[in-house]
Structure 1
Amino acid sequence: MAPMPGPSTQPWVEKYRPRNVNDVASQEEVVKTLRNSLETGNLPHLLFYGPPGTGKTTTALAIARQLFGPELVKTRVLELNASDDRGINVVRTKIKDFAAVAVGPGVSGYPCPPFKVLILDEADSMTEDAQNALRRTMETYSKVTRFCFICNYISRIIEPLASRCAKFRFKPLGREIMTDRIQYICREEGLSLDDEALNTLGKVSGGDMRRAITCLQSASRLFGSRISSENIISVSGVVPDDVIEKLLTSCRSGDYDKAQGTVTDIIADGYAVSQILSQLHDEVVRAEDVTDEQKARICERVAEADKCLIDGGDEYLQLLDVASNTMRALCNMPQESTYV
């Protein structure tokens, strides 16, 4: 039998996950509203939506823990990941069976309202049939079960479900909030980060606290207690700025062979083209020496290439296509004809 993992092997995302709604960072409006629900014990159906790593699942679990306590939460709360359990059969069996069961007595010291909580994470991955099947289940068992839907894209939740829930939008975390939390973890773990490394970590995470903490833990495992900006970049999967700058410089030259050589080198280095397109887009948008028309032409082709990559397109060909069209735009060459 394998030994149980010690505290040192625990992911920091779980180790430093807030256990209390008041500890959730940067979501003041959501926390204030839910705090009132906790005081009264009157919780509506909930719909949490927003970018990844902003505290949606953490908040849902904290609410359940504060409502029922550590013991009762095991029987009163069911958490399902809808990206795995997303078919209509799950709604008809597992969800309906849990929702239909009556609740038992509560425990002292906690509100313990007379209902259970069913948390459906990644609910935007549920099929439309499964979401439609949930409508009747929510109405039938609303006296003994509250539903909490968690998703990244609210547009993928059918309107009949969304209208039955109190909606809470989780916004990306601000740089100051993330810096405070990262510095707290560094103090707890005995790490040393300079200001440049902190700024880099905030930049590469893009408001995603989970990604920031994961990058920090990976860097500490590889490079020890003193972590630099270069260390953060090497473990985050972000493409170094000089690679993007080299690609833009080759495109500005107007020399197709030079641009093709740069693209070949980038692919040979193993960088993710989707990440390159994202950073190239940001760099072009910020560029002051590029006209709005040139930016529009480049961004349009970047978007088309990104869609092709999602559909399984070849990375080399898509990056070469973006580079050639970026060169056309920056050097004011005529736009290629489009044949239908």
Structure 2
Amino acid sequence: MQSSQQWVEKYRPRQVKDVAYQEEVIRVLTNTLETGSCPHMLFYGPPGTGKTTTALAIARQLFGPELYKSRVLELNASDDRGINVVRTKIKDFAAVAVGTSKRKNGYLCPPFKIIVLDEADSMTEDAQALFAFTQPSIAVQNALRRTMETYSKVTRFFFICNYVSRIIEPLASRCAKFRFKPLSEVIMSSRILYICKEEGLYLDTAALSTLSSISHGDLRRAITYLQSAARLFGSSISSENLISVSGVVPEKVVEAVLQACRSGNFDFANKEVNNFIAEGYPASQMLTQLFEAIVEENDLSDEQKARISKKLGEADKCLVDGADEYLQLLAVVSNTMKAFSNIPEEFAYEC
């Protein structure tokens, strides 16, 4: 019987040196582990590139298993991080002093605690106001500055986010910044093949390439897809198996919609949109894959691609706001038909 443990956790690196493809970051942080000199840190970059893993690995290697729970506070976006929790739990944790630096069981155990704020760019609005991620009053921003400065001798903050632009300068300037790069296909393939070997799975070259493609440099997503496919389809996994568990729209479906756009026949295009909706694929995913296909289309000028991309962006925003999937996709297809036919934009259909 297969273990119920998530492979993402099972194969998560436990030491900083084991984090893949972030050589510059690891080189700098290794010095922190040797000296115990640790500033506030800001880790940013795409999801699934090792930001949280690195932050937690630093904490484990500094304090060891005995002191980890008492010295490290981790808050994720899924936790309750409203204004009251931030004002009480975080501030109270930051204010408590710890003993002097003293090695214990081979761990450095420096004289400070660590607060890890994961997904710091998606906190609740009230909490964002306190942490100055939005545009609160100057007094609130000063309150955060005073909190970090007052307790800097006994507490370090690790901010983790996908978009560094959502962290305002007063906070970012107090942190050492570390950018995490998207993982290359070679690095991802190497890690996936290692997991396949450990779990007794077989992936051919095409399936391995497909997994890297649909994961977009997100190793966590790739491992999740791999485990889902293994549970559903057994030890031999094909490209089709991976696509079916990932929610990605099959290429033949995307090509059918593009072919309808090229045809110039509105009834044919409407039929393909109806078929797509009936199959239950997410319209937002179709927009993403249509964009990728349009960018690579050789028969379109830059102006035509720009017109289509603009409409794709508008439709994506409407879907986020709760608009009808059929109408938005039909609007995209209609405008794409006009762009393929080089009909001026003012005569394009609007839905």
- TM class by smaller structure: over 0.9
- Once the two structures are TM-superposed, the CA of residue 7 in structure 1 deviates from its matched residue by 7.9
Aligned partner of 2:106 in structure 1 is 109
- 8 Å CA contact retained: 1:86, 1:125: no
**Mapped pair 1:251 → 2:246:** no
**Mapped pair 1:55 → 2:50:** yes
SS in 2 for 1:336: helix
- Once the two structures are TM-superposed, the CA of residue 154 in structure 1 deviates from its matched residue by 1.0
Aligned partner of 2:190 in structure 1 is 180
Deviation by residue 1:178-202 (Cα, 9 ceiling, x = unmatched): 0000000000000000000000000
Aligned partner of 2:244 in structure 1 is 234
Residue number among 265, 273, 290 corresponding to 2:283 in the alignment? 273
Aligned partner of 2:117 in structure 1 is 120
Deviation by residue 1:149-174 (Cα, 9 ceiling, x = unmatched): 00111111121111100011111100
- Once the two structures are TM-superposed, the CA of residue 86 in structure 1 deviates from its matched residue by 3.1
SS in 2 for 1:257: helix
Write the distance in 1 (CA, Å) between the matches of 2:347 and 2:118. Answer: 46
SS in 1 for 2:346: coil
Return structure 1 stretches of 4+ with deviation > 4 angstroms. none
Q: 1:51 to 1:85 in 2, by over 3 A?
A: same
SS in 1 for 2:39: coil
Residue number among 58, 81, 88 corresponding to 1:86 in the alignment? 81
Residue number among 8, 17, 22 corresponding to 2:17 in the alignment? 22
- 8 Å CA contact retained: 1:48, 1:167: yes
- 8 Å CA contact retained: 1:83, 1:123: no
Alignment of 1:305-324 (within 5 A): 305-324=315-334
Aligned partner of 2:225 in structure 1 is 215
Deviation by residue 1:259-287 (Cα, 9 ceiling, x = unmatched): 01000000000000110000000000011
Aligned partner of 1:129 in structure 2 is 129
- 8 Å CA contact retained: 1:12, 1:213: yes
- Once the two structures are TM-superposed, the CA of residue 89 in structure 1 deviates from its matched residue by 1.9
**Mapped pair 1:148 → 2:158:** yes
Deviation by residue 1:227-258 (Cα, 9 ceiling, x = unmatched): 01110100011000111111010010100010
Q: Which runs of 5+ in 2 are unaligned?
A: 132-140
**Mapped pair 1:291 → 2:287:** no
Task: Supply the AA of the counterpart residue of 2:327.
Answer: L
- 8 Å CA contact retained: 1:77, 1:116: yes
Q: Which runs of 5+ in 1 are unaligned?
A: 1-5
**Mapped pair 1:330 → 2:340:** yes
Deviation by residue 1:12-54 (Cα, 9 ceiling, x = unmatched): 0000000000000011111111011111100100001111111
Write the distance in 2 (CA, Å) between the matches of 1:83 and 1:13. Answer: 18
Task: Supply the AA of the counterpart residue of 2:10.
Answer: K
- Once the two structures are TM-superposed, the CA of residue 100 in structure 1 deviates from its matched residue by 0.7
Task: Supply the AA of the counterpart residue of 1:38.
Answer: L
- 8 Å CA contact retained: 1:87, 1:130: no
More moved, 11-20 vs 156-165: 156-165
Write the distance in 2 (CA, Å) between the matches of 1:93 and 1:22. Answer: 35
- Once the two structures are TM-superposed, the CA of residue 337 in structure 1 deviates from its matched residue by 5.5
Write the distance in 2 (CA, Å) between the matches of 1:75 and 1:7. Answer: 34
Write the distance in 1 (CA, Å) between the matches of 2:179 and 2:272. Answer: 42
- Once the two structures are TM-superposed, the CA of residue 91 in structure 1 deviates from its matched residue by 2.3
- Once the two structures are TM-superposed, the CA of residue 60 in structure 1 deviates from its matched residue by 0.4
- Once the two structures are TM-superposed, the CA of residue 88 in structure 1 deviates from its matched residue by 2.6
Write the distance in 1 (CA, Å) between the matches of 2:202 and 2:248. Answer: 21
- 8 Å CA contact retained: 1:83, 1:122: no
Aligned partner of 2:181 in structure 1 is 171
Task: Supply the AA of the counterpart residue of 2:130.
Answer: A
Write the distance in 1 (CA, Å) between the matches of 2:296 and 2:343. Answer: 22
- Once the two structures are TM-superposed, the CA of residue 104 in structure 1 deviates from its matched residue by 3.4
Aligned partner of 1:100 in structure 2 is 95
Q: 1:281 to 1:158 in 2, by over 3 A?
A: same
CA RMSD of aligned residues (A): 1.5
Number of residues of Structure 1 aligned to a counterpart in Structure 2? 334
Q: Compute the TM-score of the two structures, normalised by the length of structure 2.
A: 0.92
- Once the two structures are TM-superposed, the CA of residue 102 in structure 1 deviates from its matched residue by 1.2
